Amino acid sequence: MARRTRIAAVLTLAMINVFTLAASITVARMLPPRLAALRVPTVAAGPVDGAGTVLAPATADGSLPSASGLRSALAGPLSAAALGPQVSAVVADPATGRVLLSKDGARLLTPASTAKLVTSVAALAVLGPNATFTTRVVNGGTPDRIILVGGGDPTLAVNQFPAQDYPQPATLASLAAATARALKSQGRTTVSVGYDTSLYTGPGLAPGWPQSYIATGNVTPIVSLEVDQGRLTTAGTPEDSDDPYNLRPRSADPAGVAAASFTALLAADGIHVTGSPVAQAAPVHALGIASVSSPPLSAIVDQMLEESNNVIAENLARQVALATGQPASFSGAVAAVIRELRRLGVKGGLRLVDGSGLSPQDAIAPATLVKVLEIATTDTRVRALLAGLPVAGFSGTLSGGQSVFSGIGGAARGSVRAKTGNLGTVTALAGLVTDRSGTTLVFAFMADQIPAAGMLQTAANAIDAAAAALANCGCR
């Protein structure tokens, strides 16, 4: 039987070989006409056309604008009466650091929100673009006690944000659900809740911040546990949406609001909570129950710069302090930020009392802002800053209706990426521009003695015009 099987196998293989040979002969006969039909390209017998000049010869100065050309282009916008008597400007080549124009570039001026560039660079350099911030729940000092521990996540929310919002934050809803699962697995269904904000120290408001900043929706007291940056709905509940233009009064007790929200979510998840949340420090080395983490720092910086978010900026400055061994207070944070800027090569022109630029006591030279932007173009750890800069006419505070700079147009549209800044009598713009010849430049325009607050819009229009003139320049 085995012998007949082997014979059948040999015969089968022989027949396959015969069919394969016949098919090969058929294909060989068909191939030449099929290849001819494809009209396979052939190499020309001689040259068809000569190549033209692709790039013009390089010059000693490359394609950089001249100082005289820049002065001529910017003279009109920067001499506008609405800007007042103290106007400074710097334009430079980011590739070499060469200053092309400086008008009182070393003078210290009130930066307003352009100070967020400094905080961004320090945070990215110290923490790295992939850093995240964690909010935890840990066991308290007694078996029925749990503590919500703030980790300084400035994007923490109560519930999931609308799908179109970016970045999507960590939520107390997720944290409460994970906490409830863990407690039930341990047979614990009744707890009391404490909340810990001891990560940060010092006052909640910076020097120069009036209490009205809370009432006008600019900021909330800076603590390590808050939700929605303290923004509230008309009903006084957390907003659960990223709406930078919600100018309703913010929470005066952001940690208490966060703790109350967490407690309500925990109860909805089947855990009986006794009493109200109480502020208390978590025990040292307390065992963890659950945690949630923020989006990466690069995405947080992007959000902060796009919408000029003050609460995010202050939290990032505190995180720099924590990472470098400084107290996580306003004074410790600015000391840590300035120290990191010095390490990165920024030698002077910097005096801060906060990380957001909200205080009129802050002072930065335009040359310092330009140096910070140059660092962002060359240092891979901080390059994420560039992605967050608003684009003129298209995004963030440089888009229509989003700030006093929203009228920026002309050649600046799509060519200018910059951080805006304004207080009552202060206007500033610092960023990058691609000029008419395709050259990328960095610039900072600042004016901090606008004659009257009612002239702010006209002053911002003049700064917009200066950016447009730079984009339209070439200026040989």
Give the residue numbers marked as catalytic. Answer: 113, 116, 308
Distances (CA, A) of 220 to 216, 227, 241, 246: 10, 10, 16, 13
Tokens read off for 170: 């960590």
| Contacting residues for 443 by C-beta, under 8 A, at least 6 apart | 89, 90, 91, 92, 370, 418, 429, 430, 431, 432, 433, 467, 470
> Exposed (0-12), middle (13-18) or buried (19+): which is 472, by Cβ within 10 Å?
middle
Residue 310 to residue 328: CA distance in whole angstroms: 16
Transcribe 377-396 into DSSP letters: HH-TTTTHHHHHSPBTTTSG
Host H or E run for residue 2: helix 2-38
CA 46 to chain centre: 56
CA 439 to chain centre: 25
Alpha-carbon Rg for the chain, nearest whole angstrom, is 31
> For the chain, how long is the longest CA-to-CA vector?
110
In 231-330, beta strands by DSSP E:
272-273, 278-279, 288-293
Q: How many residues does the chain have?
A: 476
Residue 197 to residue 208: CA distance in whole angstroms: 23
Residue 330 to residue 121: CA distance in whole angstroms: 17
Residue 39 to residue 48: CA distance in whole angstroms: 19
- Angle 355-357-358 (CA atoms, 0-180°, nearest 5)? 110
Give 76-114 as a 3 state SS string: HHHCCHHHCCCEEEEEECCCCCCEEEEECCCCCECCHHH
- Per the CB < 8 A criterion, the answer to whether 195 and 278 are in contact is yes
